[in-house]
Amino acid sequence: MRRLPVYLLLDTSASMKGEPIEALIKGIDTMIRALRQNPQAIESVYISIITFSNTAQVLIPLTDLGSFQMTELKATGQTALGAALRLVTDRINSEIKRTMEEKGDWKPIVFIMTDGVPIDDWKKGADYFATCKTAYTVACAAGSHADTSVLKQITPHVISLEKADEDSMSRFFLWMSSSIGTTSVRVESNGDTLGLPSLDELPPPPPDINIL
């Protein structure tokens, strides 16, 4: 079975403390429950969570949906986005199977969520991230303090949430689950004939989530 790897890069800096971090946890739970109702996703989707504050760390390595269990998130420190981009690049390069003898994994999907301004060398991290091939990368600016100009230099696909509250997070993660589900159906149904969809073939975000 070819895996469809999904990497979530989540900002857990101090500005996420309180309602935002709780909303983030509930949003991920909503996404996982929705994906588990999709037979194609159950068969192919693997999810990894990378968090970043003062540094970046792999909170959950690539795990199939059936075995996935969310762990506690703590909001502290600043926003080392560059470190997260370097780390996810290294993980993609080491974890994604690409062989000539048999079909490897599908190109990974990367979702980035942040509510702040990077404090490290994000540009170097972005340049390094650009060396790896993804199916698509989507960045979400959560709240009014996120630097969308930085995110647009990482990926052209940037959306924004006015508030990092539970309702907004839930809608965003439900959209993520729909997008991942659509991709898993596409690859399971068509294999290499059509391959992965482009971003504009995915479900449109909810009306209150702005495409930048």
Tens of pLDDT, residue by residue, the chain (212 residues): 789 999 999 999 999 999 999 999 999 999 999 999 999 899 999 999 999 999 999 999 999 999 999 999 999 999 999 999 999 999 999 999 875 445 788 889 999 999 989 999 999 999 999 999 898 899 999 987 888 999 999 999 898 888 888 888 888 899 889 889 888 887 766 555 445 556 666 777 776 677 76
Q: DSSP class of residue 103?
A: -
Extract long-range pairs of 199-208: CB within 8 Å, 24+ residues apart. Answer: 199/136, 199/138, 199/157, 202/178, 203/175, 203/178, 203/179, 205/159, 205/172, 205/175, 206/171, 206/172, 206/174, 206/175, 208/162, 208/168, 208/171
Predicted local distance difference test score (pLDDT) of residue 117? 92
CA distance 147 to 2: 36
Q: What crossing angle do the helices spanning 81-95 and 122-129 adopt, rounded to 10°?
A: 20
Instruction: Tell me which residue of 38, 24, 43 sits closest to 161, measured CA to CA.
Output: 24
Amino acid letter at 87?
A: L
As a dihedral over the C-alpha atoms of residue 152, residue 90, residue 173, residue 109, rounded to 10 degrees, the angle is 80
DSSP 8-state code for residue 201: G
Instruction: Return the pLDDT at 102.
Output: 56
3-state class (DSSP) for residue 170: helix
Predicted local distance difference test score (pLDDT) of residue 189: 62
Taking the C-alpha atoms of residue 212 and residue 47, their distance in angstroms, rounded to an integer, is 26
Would you state the pLDDT for residue 194? 46
